[in-house]
Structure 1
Amino acid sequence: MIDLIEGLGVAGDAHAGVTVKHRSRVAKNPSTPNLRQVHLIHRELFDLVALAGYRVAPGQLGENITTAGLDLLGLPVGTRLRIGPVVLTVTGLRNPCEQINRFQPGLLKQVLRRTETGEVERLAGVMSIVSRGGAVRAGDPIAVERPPEPWFPLTPV
């Protein structure tokens, strides 16, 4: 179980707060709103990187919540995810960094790669803010509420 605090993030997490907590972002502007309070990764990513020989388990890439059967990367900005009493609002894509290679050398190229047309593809999950807090437990169903159209694709936050 994890406790999510409205407007802050995961209780006790280093990235919880109203403003950015990631070192590089704090260095640029410490008063920037924290759009990265909760990190979600789709379970299917672990299967994908396993095809390239990497073993990754839930929680090892810094995510707070692991989903299954949900196209996280295809959600539009502003999608609300209801998990039990909790409401998360999706803000954008996680932009993975070199630290992933410290976990397993070469893994960054598996989660941050280029398509055949040369576009950057970010596969390391999505970021969200806590719009309504509460406790989330393993196995809680996730209800997806897309925002009104027009929908905007996720970009790195």
Structure 2
Amino acid sequence: MALVQSINVSTGGIPKLPLPSCATTAIGLQGDGREHSKHATLDRAVSLFDIEIMRQLNTEGYNLVPGAIGENITVEGLAVQELEDGDCLHFSGGVVIELTEARKPCFVLDPLGVTLKKDIVGRCGYLAKVRTEGTFTIGDTIVVTKAIH
């Protein structure tokens, strides 16, 4: 079963720090800032990353915790990188998001390790827009609706 492991926000930059729950609107999670204007669009309102990839990166020598790479929602039991643009994630708390693009690593990750940007290519998570506003809560279950292409 896929579920929300951590909900993370910051006023800008990384790390994002955990909260037990957080309201979200079309522009993103309440209290979450984005330092770079290219990140502040409706199609990039929420970022996702799966804990399984984080654990794998930690076995490769990194010391990552939820929110470290700047993701808003850390999920468990959901292979985020296997999803596609247009797939919708329905959270048991009522929020619905639509995946818009695979996240690409950028210079923001540099303080976490000189090779992290290279090592995380293809497994950096996903960006999404908010389809239905509401509140994310740790432990929310997630159901995926595949996009029709």
1:47 pairs with 2:67: no
- For the residue of structure 2 that corresponds to 1:59, the secondary structure is coil
Amino acid at match of 2:51: R
Aligned residue pairs, count: 128
Q: How does 1:18-33 map to 2 (within 5 A)?
A: 22-23=36-37, 25=38, 33=41
Displacement of 1:55: 1.1
1:8 pairs with 2:18: no
Which residues of structure 1 form unaligned runs of 5+? Answer: 16-20, 113-121, 151-157
Percent of aligned pairs sharing the same letter: 30
Q: Taking structure 1 as the reference length, what is the TM-score of the superposition? A: 0.75
Deviations, residues 24-83 of structure 1 (Å, cap 9, x unaligned): x38xxx9xx531110000111111111211110101111110111112111121111011
Distance 2:140 2:87 in 1: 18
Alignment root-mean-square deviation, CA: 1.8
Aligned structure 1 segments of 4 or more residues deviating by more than 4 angstroms: none
Q: How does 1:5-154 map to 2 (within 5 A)?
A: 5=25, 7-15=26-34, 22-23=36-37, 25=38, 33-83=41-91, 84-112=93-121, 122-148=122-148, 150=149
Distance 1:65 1:52 in 2: 22
Distance 2:48 2:105 in 1: 13
Displacement of 1:104: 2.7
Q: Taking structure 2 as the reference length, what is the TM-score of the superposition? A: 0.79
Distance 1:101 1:137 in 2: 30
Which residues of structure 2 form unaligned runs of 5+? Answer: 1-20
